[in-house]
Amino acid sequence: MAIKMDGLALAKKLKEQAREEAAQLRRRPGLAVIIVGDNPASRVYVNSKRKDCEECDYYSEEYALPETSSQQELLELIGELNRREDIDGILVQLPLPRGFCEEEVLLAIDPGKDVDCFHPYNVGKLTIGQPVFQPCTPGGVMELLKEYHIDPAGKRCVVLGRSNIVGKPMAMLLLHAHGTVTVCHSRTPDMKEIAATADILVSAVGQVGLVTGDMVKEGAVVIDVAMNRNAEGKLCGDVVVEEVEPKASYLTPVPGGVGPMTRAMLMLNTLTAAKNHLKYLK
């Protein structure tokens, strides 16, 4: 029976460490969060980030722009925040409403304040193994593996999903940790067979019931990144837990696994940004 990987407990520990380190700086780390429109899910995420900042004793600002705002207004706000010495991290809550160009918006953020690790500069640094920031969700997965003494080195690692936010950077981090990495996606014809070879299986597709028991080999570590709602409206991941739990050695629950770690990594990235800025401002 799989050991449940407690992301809530680890996230709490990491945020406490961040709070202690931040207290040693000559000013508090500062995070600005921008939300455009009134997407209910986005509002929940923004509220949780404000709570995280309070727990870490960071300075935070929230900018709630109406959906009728223009692309130029959003870009001007980002430009203003780029110039602020008391703001170390800038986060634009995605997705943006229809009519906004997300690529242009993400490019406008100063790479030194890109605590989501979405800017092409930071993605490039990640690819060559010199990351400034850890991409939040994949970085959280790596912290969970470290906490449970699971070393990817020499192991077969399979990532389901190739998104820019999770799948691709997850593969990069596992590769940098000396794992042998395969990425599967919607055009992979033999995904079930490939998944069944994994020592570490990471699913980040967003499809209820995707990962069944016959896709997991005995003793595999299974990381469920997805956040879905099943037919009954219950929060769940990609994994069919009742089938996978008896076979896996470790399994992340949904909720309470990777989700809290994503938020904790944002706090660590903001701390890193603050340290870099204060070093530069000496």
Q: What was the pLDDT predicted at 281?
A: 64
Same-domain status, 83 and 142: no
Q: What was the pLDDT predicted at 282?
A: 56
Q: How many structural domains are present in the chain? A: 2
Summarize pLDDT for 9-29 with one digit per residue, the tens: 999 999 999 999 999 999 999
CA dihedral 237, 243, 249, 254 (to 10 degrees): 20
Separation in Å, CA 97 to CA 67, 68, 145, 164 = 7, 9, 35, 19
Q: Which segment of 34-43, 73-82, 110-119, 151-160 scores lowest on mean pLDDT?
A: 34-43
Give the Cβ contact number of residue 96 at 10 Å.
23
Q: Given 15, 49, 155, 168, which residue is catalytic?
A: 49
Structure tokens at 89: 């991290």
Q: Which among 33, 131, 49 has a CA at the least distance from the CA of 90?
A: 33
User: Does residue 114 carry a catalytic annotation?
Assistant: no
Same-domain status, 51 and 146: no
CATH, residue 48: 3.40.50.10860
Residue 128 domain-assigned? no
Residue 212 domain-assigned? yes
> CA–CA separation, 72 vs 69, rounded Å?
8
Structure tokens at 246: 């008896």
Summarize pLDDT for 223-239 with one digit per residue, the tens: 999 999 998 989 999 99
Average pLDDT over every residue of 251-261? 97
Same-domain status, 74 and 152: no
How close are the terminal C-alpha atoms of the chain, in Å?
53
Domain interval for residue 43 = 28-112
CATH, residue 198: 3.40.50.720
Q: What pTM does this model have? A: 0.96
Alpha-carbon 115 to chain mean position: 10
Residue 207 domain-assigned? yes
Same-domain status, 88 and 192: no
Q: Given 15, 52, 88, 93, which residue is catalytic?
A: 93
Mean pLDDT of the chain: 96
User: Does residue 247 carry a catalytic annotation?
Assistant: no
Average pLDDT over every residue of 255-281? 94
Q: Given 52, 88, 114, 116, which residue is catalytic?
A: 116
Residue 201 domain-assigned? yes
Residue 270 domain-assigned? no
Same-domain status, 149 and 105: no
> CA–CA separation, 2 vs 186, rounded Å?
28
Give the Cβ contact number of residue 177 at 10 Å.
17
Summarize pLDDT for 170-218 with one digit per residue, the tens: 999 999 999 999 999 999 999 999 999 999 999 999 999 999 999 999 9
Average pLDDT over every residue of 266-275? 98
Same-domain status, 254 and 140: yes
pLDDT band for 151, please (50, 70, 90 cuts): very high
> CA–CA separation, 238 vs 204, rounded Å?
7
For residue 188, the one-letter residue type is: T
Question: Which of 56, 79, 112 is where one domain is finished?
Answer: 112
User: Does residue 49 carry a catalytic annotation?
Assistant: yes
Residue 268 domain-assigned? no
pLDDT at 222 over 90: yes
Same-domain status, 108 and 141: no
pLDDT at 251 over 90: yes
Q: What was the pLDDT predicted at 40?
A: 86
Query: Is 222 exposed, middle or buried, given 0-12, 13-18 or 19+ CB atoms closer than 10 A?
Result: buried
> CA–CA separation, 19 vs 25, rounded Å?
10
Summarize pLDDT for 24-63 with one digit per residue, the tens: 999 999 999 999 998 888 888 899 999 999 999 999 999 9
Same-domain status, 159 and 86: no
Same-domain status, 99 and 141: no
Same-domain status, 238 and 150: yes
Same-domain status, 158 and 254: yes
> CA–CA separation, 71 vs 83, rounded Å?
19
Q: What was the pLDDT predicted at 42?
A: 87
Same-domain status, 192 and 239: yes
Q: Which among 157, 113, 121, 140 has a CA at the least distance from the CA of 275?
A: 113
Q: What was the pLDDT predicted at 39?
A: 84
Separation in Å, CA 156 to CA 14, 162, 251 = 28, 17, 16
